[in-house]
């Protein structure tokens, strides 16, 4: 048996997220199906992050044990040959048996993309949230500074959660702009469910002038989901990197 680490890219539009669901196709279920066929036994696939329905990835990581004798590139090609083209394994490598894609991860980086130009390119519409008109970039940046660091992020996740703790250390929250829109880049060892999308939705409301940058600290301290902004649409979110 060999422990394998794969790096995956996928367009999440047509999937019910990463995690296997009783009804509906997921990224994990597709990988499990293909790997179980290739290894002629049930293969358990561990993912670094459980992306939600409609969320994309350019740098998702998964690991699994395999019995058959494949070279890494052969395994990559065999997996891809049995997947739809909106999921691709871009790299496969053998790793130490102690490696686990989820528990060995040290940092995950997400990118939320807001398209503010009047027309969304047909090559981008699946991967952005379209907000017509400019957003106040400076105010969004000021608001973001209140969220960096270790906090209780109860206000930025689902009201009911099975997470052992809602305290997370947000290592990075950058707001960058270009001609077509704004990028919100968040990095942490771990995120709560809908956390990045709720942060994005709240920052967008600041950019619209619907709430002030200074109010974000009070939202955070309230620990109440009712005080934060909306949960931005899944299409704009991409898992771009997992560090180990």
- CB-based contact 239:58 (threshold 8 Å): yes
The listed CATH number (3.40.50.2300, 3.30.70.580, 3.40.50.300, 3.50.50.60) that belongs to domain 2-95: 3.30.70.580
For the whole model, what pTM was predicted? 0.94
Pairing of strands 129-130, 107-115: parallel
| CATH node for 107-243 | 3.30.70.660
Confidence of residue 117 (pLDDT cuts 50, 70, 90): very high
The answer to whether domain 2-95 and domain 107-243 are alike in fold is yes
In angstroms, rounded to a whole number, what is the distance separating the alpha carbons of residues 23 and 16?
9
So what's the pLDDT on residue 195?
A: 97
- pLDDT, tens digit, for every residue of 70-97? 999 999 999 999 999 999 999 999 999 9
C-alpha count within 13 angstroms, C-beta hemisphere, residue 226:
0
- pLDDT, tens digit, for every residue of 121-144? 999 999 999 999 899 999 999 999
Please identify which of the residues 52, 73, 136, 174 carries the catalytic annotation.
52
Decide if 77 is catalytic.
no
Residue 40 region by backbone torsions, left for phi larger than 0, else alpha for psi between -120 and 50, else beta = left
- Rg over alpha carbons for the chain, rounded to the nearest Å, is 19
């Amino acid at each position: 048996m060999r422990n394998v680490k794969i790096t995956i890219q996928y367009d999440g539009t047509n999937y019910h997220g990463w995690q296997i669901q009783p009804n509906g196709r997921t990224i994990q279920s597709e990988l499990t199906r293909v790997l179980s066929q290739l290894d002629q036994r049930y293969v358990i696939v561990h993912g670094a992050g459980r992306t939600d329905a409609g969320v994309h990835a350019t740098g998702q990581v998964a690991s699994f044990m395999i019995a058959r004798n494949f070279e890494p590139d052969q395994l990559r090609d065999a997996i891809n040959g049995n997947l739809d083209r909106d999921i691709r394994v871009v790299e496969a490598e053998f790793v130490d048996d102690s490696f686990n894609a989820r528990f060995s991860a040290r940092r995950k980086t997400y990118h939320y993309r807001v398209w503010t130009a009047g027309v969304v390119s047909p090559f981008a519409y699946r991967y952005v949230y379209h907000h017509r008109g400019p957003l106040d970039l400076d105010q969004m940046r000021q608001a973001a500074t209140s969220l960096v660091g270790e906090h209780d992020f109860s206000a930025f996740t689902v009201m009911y959660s099975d997470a052992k703790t809602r305290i997370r250390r947000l290592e990075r929250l950058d707001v960058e702009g270009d001609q077509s829109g704004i990028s919100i880049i968040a990095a942490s060892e771990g995120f709560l469910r809908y956390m990045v999308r709720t942060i994005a939705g709240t920052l967008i409301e600041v950019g619209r002038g619907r709430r002030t940058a200074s109010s974000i600290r009070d939202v955070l301290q309230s620990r109440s989901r009712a005080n934060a902004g909306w949960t931005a649409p899944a299409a704009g979110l991409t898992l771009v990197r997992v560090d180990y």
